Chain A
Amino acid sequence: DIEMIQSPSSLSASVGDRVIITCRASQSIGNWLAWYQQKPGKAPKLLIYKASSLENGVPSRFSGSGSGTEFTLTISGLRPDDIGTYSCQQYQDSGLTFGGGTKVEI
């Protein structure tokens, strides 16, 4: 299985800050990576697929980049509604795997 390691595991930032979350794969996954946002007690919500493609309806302050083994999710201008846990998922390998999550607090 491909292991996905996220960093940091948690962070605290202020409204308006630029937040960067990193996801590293144990082997190259091309650009076959998705990012999800999960609010407490709710299901995950797809934000980005194919490393940098924004899902319909997702605010443009969310952006993704990277390829190979290192990827980032950037929130440009953190808003109070952005609190939650962010997870990456690789789908290059048939054994789909998720990162452990990054909890974002304000």
Chain B
Amino acid sequence: QVFLQESGPGLVKPSGTVSLTCSVSGDSIRGSSYYWGWIRQSPGKGLEWIGSAFHDGTSFYNPSLDSRSTVSADTSKNQFFLRLYLATAADTAVYYCARQGYYYDGSGKKRGWFDTWGQGALVTVSS
């Protein structure tokens, strides 16, 4: 069974960086065909995809957050990471890490649904 666990500071100052780690057990990021992603949920709001990464270093981002976010992985530690720069109060949210399934269409391998989620980590951006 696959488990994901988020960790990181719960309080970030405005203009600071949201830095989160997702530790994976039960699956190997290096050997996996899955993508690994981050999704957030602001208080009382819907889900918002932030970005996803593959073990080969490639990454993909929500265009609205592309310029401020980085998703990367450390296969030796079986962890992946989120860095969200220049944080504002609008970035206050519960942040989830998740394993992302894939499928093939005419243009090749594509990212799909999220089949396993971490429990979530609340990050508050406030001075």
Contact = CB atoms under 8 A, between A and B. Distances in A.
A81 interface: no
Interface of A: 1, 32, 34, 36, 42-46, 49-50, 55, 87, 89, 91, 94-101
The secondary-structure label for the interface of chain B is: strand
Nearest to A41: B120
Contacts, number: 57
B62 interface: yes
Interface string B114-125: 111111100000
B74 interface: no
A94 B117 contact: no
Contact of A44 (B62, B110, B111, B117): B117
Interface of B: 46-49, 60, 62-64, 96, 101, 103, 110-120
A44 B114 contact: yes
B96 A49 contact: no
Contacts of A96: 49, 62, 111
Given A96-B62, A98-B48, A98-B49, A91 B111 contact: yes
Contacts of A44: 47, 96, 114, 117
Contacts of A97: 49
B68 to A, nearest CB: 15
Contacts of A36: 47, 114
| Candidate in B47, B60, B115 with the most chain A CB atoms within 10 angstroms | B47
A15 B22 CA distance: 38
Contact of A87 (B47, B110, B112, B118): B47
